[in-house]
Amino acid sequence: MKSTLTSLCVFLALFMLATPAMAQPPTEVDMDILADKIKADKKLLVSMNMELTEQEGKDFWPFYDMYQKELQMKNSQLGLLISEYAEAYNKGPIANDIAAKLIKEYLKWEAEELKLKIKYMAKIGKVLPAYKVARYLQIENKIRAIIKFGLAAEIPLMY
Protein backbone atom coordinates (compact mmCIF):
# COMPACT_ATOMS: atom_id res chain seq x y z
CA MET A 1 0.00 0.00 0.00
CA LYS A 2 2.68 2.49 1.01
CA SER A 3 4.91 1.53 -1.91
CA THR A 4 2.05 2.01 -4.37
CA LEU A 5 1.43 5.52 -3.10
CA THR A 6 5.13 6.25 -3.23
CA SER A 7 5.35 4.87 -6.77
CA LEU A 8 2.51 7.04 -8.04
CA CYS A 9 3.93 10.11 -6.33
CA VAL A 10 7.32 9.48 -7.91
CA PHE A 11 5.65 9.02 -11.31
CA LEU A 12 3.73 12.29 -10.90
CA ALA A 13 6.86 14.12 -9.77
CA LEU A 14 8.88 12.81 -12.72
CA PHE A 15 6.08 13.78 -15.08
CA MET A 16 5.91 17.29 -13.66
CA LEU A 17 9.66 17.73 -13.75
CA ALA A 18 10.26 16.12 -17.14
CA THR A 19 7.52 17.84 -19.14
CA PRO A 20 9.32 21.20 -19.57
CA ALA A 21 12.54 19.46 -20.56
CA MET A 22 11.07 17.54 -23.51
CA ALA A 23 12.86 18.16 -26.81
CA GLN A 24 9.61 18.71 -28.70
CA PRO A 25 6.52 20.19 -27.10
CA PRO A 26 3.84 17.56 -26.55
CA THR A 27 0.73 17.79 -28.67
CA GLU A 28 -2.68 18.39 -27.16
CA VAL A 29 -3.58 14.75 -27.93
CA ASP A 30 -0.43 13.53 -26.13
CA MET A 31 -1.30 15.64 -23.08
CA ASP A 32 -4.91 14.38 -23.09
CA ILE A 33 -3.71 10.77 -23.20
CA LEU A 34 -1.25 11.41 -20.39
CA ALA A 35 -3.88 13.23 -18.32
CA ASP A 36 -6.29 10.31 -18.75
CA LYS A 37 -3.58 7.85 -17.67
CA ILE A 38 -2.74 9.90 -14.58
CA LYS A 39 -6.44 10.13 -13.66
CA ALA A 40 -6.85 6.37 -14.04
CA ASP A 41 -3.67 5.66 -12.06
CA LYS A 42 -4.79 8.06 -9.35
CA LYS A 43 -8.18 6.40 -9.10
CA LEU A 44 -6.52 2.99 -8.90
CA LEU A 45 -4.20 4.25 -6.18
CA VAL A 46 -7.12 5.64 -4.19
CA SER A 47 -9.03 2.40 -4.67
CA MET A 48 -6.12 0.26 -3.48
CA ASN A 49 -5.61 2.35 -0.36
CA MET A 50 -9.15 3.13 0.77
CA GLU A 51 -10.17 -0.42 1.74
CA LEU A 52 -13.82 0.30 0.97
CA THR A 53 -16.62 -2.18 1.49
CA GLU A 54 -18.87 -2.79 -1.51
CA GLN A 55 -21.51 -0.40 -0.16
CA GLU A 56 -18.93 2.24 0.78
CA GLY A 57 -17.55 2.05 -2.75
CA LYS A 58 -21.00 2.57 -4.27
CA ASP A 59 -21.46 5.62 -2.08
CA PHE A 60 -17.91 7.03 -2.33
CA TRP A 61 -17.02 6.83 -6.04
CA PRO A 62 -19.69 9.24 -7.32
CA PHE A 63 -18.43 11.89 -4.87
CA TYR A 64 -14.83 11.11 -5.85
CA ASP A 65 -15.66 11.62 -9.53
CA MET A 66 -17.51 14.89 -8.87
CA TYR A 67 -14.63 16.15 -6.71
CA GLN A 68 -12.04 15.26 -9.34
CA LYS A 69 -14.07 17.04 -12.02
CA GLU A 70 -14.31 20.22 -9.95
CA LEU A 71 -10.65 19.90 -8.94
CA GLN A 72 -9.69 19.70 -12.61
CA MET A 73 -11.50 22.98 -13.23
CA LYS A 74 -9.52 24.54 -10.36
CA ASN A 75 -6.32 23.11 -11.84
CA SER A 76 -7.18 24.71 -15.18
CA GLN A 77 -7.60 28.05 -13.45
CA LEU A 78 -4.19 27.61 -11.84
CA GLY A 79 -2.74 26.75 -15.24
CA LEU A 80 -4.08 30.02 -16.64
CA LEU A 81 -2.64 31.93 -13.69
CA ILE A 82 0.76 30.28 -14.21
CA SER A 83 0.60 31.19 -17.91
CA GLU A 84 -0.21 34.77 -16.99
CA TYR A 85 2.77 34.81 -14.63
CA ALA A 86 5.05 33.28 -17.28
CA GLU A 87 4.00 35.91 -19.80
CA ALA A 88 4.70 38.73 -17.35
CA TYR A 89 7.97 37.11 -16.22
CA ASN A 90 9.24 36.77 -19.78
CA LYS A 91 8.74 40.50 -20.40
CA GLY A 92 11.23 41.44 -17.67
CA PRO A 93 10.84 42.72 -14.13
CA ILE A 94 7.23 42.46 -13.02
CA ALA A 95 5.47 45.72 -12.16
CA ASN A 96 3.96 46.06 -8.70
CA ASP A 97 0.39 46.26 -9.99
CA ILE A 98 0.79 43.01 -11.95
CA ALA A 99 2.46 41.32 -8.96
CA ALA A 100 -0.38 42.48 -6.70
CA LYS A 101 -2.96 41.13 -9.18
CA LEU A 102 -1.17 37.76 -9.37
CA ILE A 103 -1.00 37.54 -5.57
CA LYS A 104 -4.72 38.29 -5.27
CA GLU A 105 -5.65 35.73 -7.94
CA TYR A 106 -3.41 33.02 -6.44
CA LEU A 107 -4.77 33.50 -2.92
CA LYS A 108 -8.32 33.42 -4.31
CA TRP A 109 -7.47 30.16 -6.09
CA GLU A 110 -6.07 28.64 -2.87
CA ALA A 111 -9.16 29.70 -0.90
CA GLU A 112 -11.43 28.16 -3.54
CA GLU A 113 -9.40 24.95 -3.51
CA LEU A 114 -9.82 24.76 0.28
CA LYS A 115 -13.58 25.43 0.03
CA LEU A 116 -13.84 22.64 -2.52
CA LYS A 117 -11.96 20.27 -0.23
CA ILE A 118 -14.18 21.18 2.74
CA LYS A 119 -17.33 20.75 0.62
CA TYR A 120 -16.40 17.27 -0.59
CA MET A 121 -14.95 15.96 2.65
CA ALA A 122 -18.28 16.86 4.30
CA LYS A 123 -20.18 14.99 1.58
CA ILE A 124 -17.88 11.98 1.78
CA GLY A 125 -18.18 12.13 5.58
CA LYS A 126 -21.88 11.33 5.21
CA VAL A 127 -21.15 8.01 3.49
CA LEU A 128 -17.83 6.91 5.05
CA PRO A 129 -16.52 6.72 8.61
CA ALA A 130 -14.30 9.64 9.63
CA TYR A 131 -11.10 7.60 9.55
CA LYS A 132 -11.71 6.70 5.89
CA VAL A 133 -12.45 10.33 5.05
CA ALA A 134 -9.16 11.23 6.73
CA ARG A 135 -7.39 8.46 4.80
CA TYR A 136 -8.76 9.77 1.51
CA LEU A 137 -7.77 13.30 2.46
CA GLN A 138 -4.24 12.08 3.23
CA ILE A 139 -3.97 10.32 -0.12
CA GLU A 140 -5.30 13.35 -1.99
CA ASN A 141 -3.00 15.71 -0.07
CA LYS A 142 0.08 13.60 -0.79
CA ILE A 143 -0.67 13.55 -4.50
CA ARG A 144 -1.40 17.29 -4.57
CA ALA A 145 1.81 18.00 -2.64
CA ILE A 146 3.89 16.13 -5.22
CA ILE A 147 2.23 18.01 -8.06
CA LYS A 148 2.70 21.35 -6.31
CA PHE A 149 6.33 20.47 -5.59
CA GLY A 150 6.87 19.83 -9.30
CA LEU A 151 5.30 23.16 -10.17
CA ALA A 152 7.31 24.99 -7.52
CA ALA A 153 10.53 23.49 -8.88
CA GLU A 154 9.74 24.74 -12.39
CA ILE A 155 8.33 28.20 -11.68
CA PRO A 156 11.05 30.82 -11.20
CA LEU A 157 10.97 33.35 -8.40
CA MET A 158 9.53 36.73 -9.30
CA TYR A 159 11.85 39.62 -9.95
115 domain-assigned? yes
pLDDT of residue 7: 52
pLDDT recorded at residue 14: 46
User: Closest Cα partner for 63 from 141, 124, 132?
Assistant: 124
- The gap from C-alpha 42 to its chain's centroid, in whole angstroms, comes to 11
Main-chain phi, psi angles of 13, to 5 degrees: -65, -45
**Structural domain containing residue 51:** 2-154
For residues 79 and 104, give the distance between their C-alpha atoms in angstroms, rounded to a whole number: 15
What pLDDT was estimated at residue 33? 75
Mean pLDDT for all residues in the chain: 86
The answer to whether the CB of 5 falls within 8 A of the CB of 146 is no
Q: What is the pTM of this model?
A: 0.78
Give the tens place of pLDDT for each residue, 28-52: 666 667 677 778 899 999 999 999 9
- Residue at 159 is within a domain: no
Number of H helices, E strands in the chain: 5, 0
In this prediction, residue 5 has a pLDDT band, given cuts at 50, 70 and 90, of low
Q: Which of 16-25, 47-56, 57-66, 85-94 has the lowest mean pLDDT?
A: 16-25
In this prediction, residues 135-148 reach a mean pLDDT of 94
117 within domain boundaries:
yes
Domain total of the chain: 1
pLDDT confidence of residue 18: 42
Q: Is the pLDDT of residue 2 over 70?
A: no
| Res. 27: pLDDT tops 80 | no
